[in-house]
Amino acid sequence: MEKGTIRLKTGLAEMLKGGVIMDVTTPEQAVIAERAGACAVMALERVPADIRRAGGVARMADPAVIKSIMKAVSIPVMAKVRIGHMAEARILEAVGVDYIDESEVLTPADDRNHLNKHDFTIPFVCGARNLGEALRRIAEGAAMIRTKGEPGTGNVIEAVRHIRVVMGELRHLLSLPEEEVPGYAKELGAPLELMRVVREKGGLPVVNFAAGGISTPADAALMMQLGCDGIFVGSGIFKSSDPERFARAIVKATTNYNDAAVLAEVSEGLGEAMPGLEISAIAPEQRMQERGW
């Protein structure tokens, strides 16, 4: 019997496909998310919009908060650690969460290195803005990838940019003659062996979700149409005027992303989405997507 294999790590992500993972900060919110059809929850002390507002250093959540959420629901529970923070990751592993997000939403702990994620039994998800970043994270052991987008903004434009870049670079890689692959690997800063795995498989070897700015059912459907396997919604649910309804509507839109009639039906009379932020209003050094190396 074997535990912690790459197949078990990527396999759990496969089971989350077509689903919505929701940020929650209390057991009550977790129950609302589960009832609405979330396929997993991300346990946090603050949603990204509040982290952005609070400023300062954002760290791993209090294990007591995470444990209370694990107790409240039967679906998988994820939690975030700072980029490169091995000790926080070991703490979350000891707490027993189902997935760890090495996340740019928190303040990075290491300005050069990400975690060696192969070294853990618990699987990791990481953000990526392009194929090189995605493959570097996979080389470090990430079993799931998500777009970075720009968290806490309610503005989908960065997530769209990131998935378009990843898909475009994937198409380019698949079209190259073999002798041009090493040069392209160098250009992307991606490991050559993984570039070959992608070519053999015809796509990324792990699941790729959308994250960072998704706040309406239509946003979720858009990201699925662009080729994402599922959706993370951070501030979009519990910063909206009617969280339960928003949660249900986004779940249904993610399943039926190609069915405009269903999308129209779930978008009707939803109430106010979370307040949005124009990206140009955020100073470049304040943009979370710039974190990660």
Partner 1 sequence: MVEPLHIGVLALQGAFREHRIMLEKCGAKVTEIRRLPGGSPWGGLEMFDGIVLPGGESTTMGRLLVDEGLLEPLRTCGQAGMPVYGSCAGLILLCREVEGPDGALIEQPRLGLLDARVRRNAFGRQADSFETRLDVKGVACDMEAVFIRAPVIVSCGPSVEVLCRVEGPLGPSPVAVRQGRVFATSFHPELTADSRFHAWFLNICLAWRSAGGFPS
d(C-alpha 205, C-alpha 254), whole Å: 22
Note whether 74 binds partner 1 by CB under 8 A: yes
d(C-alpha 23, C-alpha 75), whole Å: 13
* 3 classed as catalytic: no
Query: Other C-beta atoms within 10 Å of 86: how many?
Result: 16
Note whether 107 binds partner 1 by CB under 8 A: no
276 — alpha (psi -120 to 50), left (phi > 0) or beta? beta
Note whether 98 binds partner 1 by CB under 8 A: yes
| Chain position carrying tokens 């700072």 | 82
Q: Is the dihedral of CA 24, 43, 116, 49 positive or negative?
A: positive
- Considering only 14-22, 198-206, 219-227, 268-276, which stretch makes contact with partner 1 by CB under 8 A? 14-22
Q: Is the dihedral of CA 98, 145, 15, 151 positive or negative?
A: positive
Report, in Å, the least distance between residue 133 CB and partner 1.
25
Note whether 264 binds partner 1 by CB under 8 A: no
Q: At what angle do helices 192-201 and 181-188 cross, to 10 degrees?
A: 120
d(C-alpha 44, C-alpha 59), whole Å: 10
Residue from the set 27, 37, 191, 227 that interacts with partner 1 by CB under 8 A: 37
Note whether 201 binds partner 1 by CB under 8 A: no
Note whether 4 binds partner 1 by CB under 8 A: yes
| Chain position carrying tokens 């470049």 | 284
Note whether 36 binds partner 1 by CB under 8 A: yes
> Of 3 and 112, which CB lies nearer to partner 1 in the complex structure?
3
d(C-alpha 67, C-alpha 206), whole Å: 28
CB 204 within 8 A of CB 195: no
CB 124 within 8 A of CB 117: yes
CB 9 within 8 A of CB 123: yes
d(C-alpha 232, C-alpha 210), whole Å: 6
Note whether 205 binds partner 1 by CB under 8 A: no
> Of 133 and 229, which CB lies nearer to partner 1 in the complex structure?
229
- Considering only 55-63, 89-97, 162-170, 217-225, which stretch makes contact with partner 1 by CB under 8 A? 89-97
> Of 11 and 276, which CB lies nearer to partner 1 in the complex structure?
11
Note whether 18 binds partner 1 by CB under 8 A: yes
For the segment 117-156, give every residue that binds partner 1 (CB under 8 A): 121-123
Note whether 15 binds partner 1 by CB under 8 A: yes
How many Cα atoms are found within 13 Å in the side-chain-facing hemisphere of 268? 7
Residue from the set 259, 272, 275, 276 that interacts with partner 1 by CB under 8 A: 259
Report, in Å, the least distance between residue 275 CB and partner 1.
28
Of 80, 117, 239, 252, the catalytic one is 80
Note whether 182 binds partner 1 by CB under 8 A: no
Helix, strand, or coil (residue 141) = coil
Residue from the set 24, 32, 39, 211 that interacts with partner 1 by CB under 8 A: 39
Q: Which residues are catalytic?
A: 80
Residues found near partner 1 in the complex (CB under 8 A):
1-5, 7-8, 11-12, 14-19, 34-40, 70, 74-76, 93, 96-99, 121-123, 251-252, 255-256, 259, 262
